[in-house]
Chains A and B, each alone.
Chain A
Amino acid sequence: MAKENTPKRTWSKPPLIKNPTIRWIVVIAILAYAIMAFLTIQSSIDPARISKGWPRTVRLLTNFVQPDFFTRIKDIRIGVLESITMTVVSTFVGVILAIPFSLGAARNIAPRPVYLFSRTIIILSRTFPEIVVALLFVVMVGFGPLAGAITLMLATIGFIAKLMAEDIEDIDESQVEAIKATGASWPQMVVYSILPQVLPRFIGLTAYRLDINFRQSAILGIVGAGGIGAVLKTSMSRYDFDTTGAILAIIIAIVLVLEIISGYIRQQVQ
């Protein structure tokens, strides 16, 4: 070759942290933390307690595989119906209330004050875990599915509004411009240029949220906010693990059905 004197140029991926000293300090610190964390847990591992709990574990698992649907059929039916009601109501109301916040929280179409207001509401609704909000509403409106439904509705608003606002911020502006240029009003602009662009995602997210709300409704019962969770908790504390198994099987079945439905819907709207 002609260019024999050209030195061979090597290349390797530049490291994430350039300074080698800092890089090694970070690596060692992470390792040290992991080891110490393990040692902390290890001290609380008590072989005696584990061996005492072992028969219970075995009973739990054996009962799970032979679930009893019938002993508590009435409670289970009420619980499931309550959960489904909570899910449908909270998803429906929440999604509708989320629409104005979705538009308000999209930087590209909302005036600054509206944007800040909507973002604040979304952040508030997403800050607290559902279970904490549910505890609050149990105090405010009493035990039962109403507390759970309000909780899930608020969570739905935050969830849908945040994700939809991000989708609206990513739309193709030229379509909006074209509709504005025809002399369309603001609501017409939304319906004709924004809605068609975000509708598939809106429907997909709604279906997904329906499925999340059902699963959440199973948890909220544990703090007394209605639904199948209450029945689940009672069966656990009574050591009726066969009933627990039955409830879990029902929850799994419903979640699967919802998953299939929402998957189908998302496929259809694209």
Chain B
Amino acid sequence: MAQTNNMLEIKNLEKRYKTGDLALSNVTISVPKGEVIALIGPSGAGKSTLIRCVNRLIDPTAGQIILNGEDITKLGGRSLRKARRKMGMIFQEYALVERLSVMENVLSGRLGYVGFWASLMRRYPQSDIDEAFRLLSRVGIDHFADKRADALSGGQRQRVGIARALIQGPDIMLVDEPTASLDPKTARQIMRLIIELAKENNVAAIINIHDVALAKMFVSRIIGLQLGEIVFDGTPDELDEDMLTTIYGEEDWEETIQKVEDEDEEES
């Protein structure tokens, strides 16, 4: 049934809010298996709306989203929840359930797989628990398993968020501004961790990110969104000063481009 090899196909997606604002128009993106894409653009460009349309937290008004050959925009109820299991989401303000423990937060990524009573009584299959511990130690916080989520620092919370997304066994991660509430050093660590884990597990990712320098540093494909439309889709090298002006408007971009090169040296 798959006419292409692409894991995710977004076709002519449109979202018009009830207020009449057009948040997305004619957005078409193909995501091959395992590819990591950074989505950049000014605030209000529709980045958050776009990734929330992919897992239908927001319903698009037109267009198709095809995940592994299945059109998600047509799904509802049980089949939609089943499709959501294949899409892990990571949030800007972590969106952990604050009063639950780290372990409960990670295991909540398995909610789509376990029944209601099992989840209520916290009786998860041993395989889920093993995987949760493996992921927690992979992101470096397994010793916090029984701590409450609100006792953790920003960077630690985002690590829990990453583990929660990955335990779903997703084909794609939808990442909404993962570093916006973090300090520069932690931001890079988190960004690096997301990229590494995407590679390790052969999971694709769409990462909304404000920080253009950080995006250029870590990903090989960047999509620029402006007023709900795609204005750029290419490699970091192709994203030059003129392009940034198109996306964000007139500004002195010398620094941004320069900084990336400096950082590249520093990294190597």
Question: Which of A's residues lie within 8 Å of B, judged by CB?
Answer: 172, 174-175, 177-185, 187-188, 191-193, 196-197, 199-200
Can you spell out 12 A-B residue pairs with CB atoms less than 8 angstroms apart? Answer: A172-B98, A178-B91, A178-B95, A178-B161, A181-B174, A182-B111, A183-B81, A183-B82, A183-B112, A184-B81, A184-B111, A192-B108
Query: Which B residues lie within 8 Å of A179 (CB)?
Result: 97, 108, 111
Known: A192-B100, A193-B97. A181 touches B120 (CB 8 A): no
Known: A182-B108, A192-B119. A177 touches B82 (CB 8 A): no
Is B134 part of the contact surface with A, judged by Cβ < 8 Å? no
**Complex Cα–Cα for A182 and B104 (A):** 13
Contact call A181/B84, Cβ cutoff below 8 A: yes
Contact call B96/A178, Cβ cutoff below 8 A: yes
**Complex Cα–Cα for A161 and B60 (A):** 34
Interface set, chain B 66-116, CB cutoff 8 A to A: 81-85, 87-89, 91, 93, 95-100, 104, 108-113, 116
Interface set, chain B 154-192, CB cutoff 8 A to A: 161, 164, 168, 174
Please report whether the interface of chain B is mostly helix, strand, loop or mixed according to DSSP. mixed
Is B2 part of the contact surface with A, judged by Cβ < 8 Å? no
Is B226 part of the contact surface with A, judged by Cβ < 8 Å? no
Known: A184-B111, A192-B111. A199 touches B116 (CB 8 A): no
Contact call A174/B91, Cβ cutoff below 8 A: yes
Return the CB mask of B222-243 against A: 1 if under 8 Å, else 0.
0000000000000000000000
> Which of A175, A177, A181, A191 gathers the greatest number of chain B CB atoms within 10 Å?
A181
Q: Known pairs A192-B108, A197-B98. 8 more at Cβ < 8 A?
A: A178-B95, A179-B108, A181-B174, A185-B81, A191-B116, A192-B119, A196-B100, A197-B97
Least CB distance, B77 to chain A, in whole angstroms: 9
Query: Which A residues lie within 8 Å of B82 (CB)?
Result: 183
Is B1 part of the contact surface with A, judged by Cβ < 8 Å? no
**Complex Cα–Cα for A184 and B55 (A):** 13
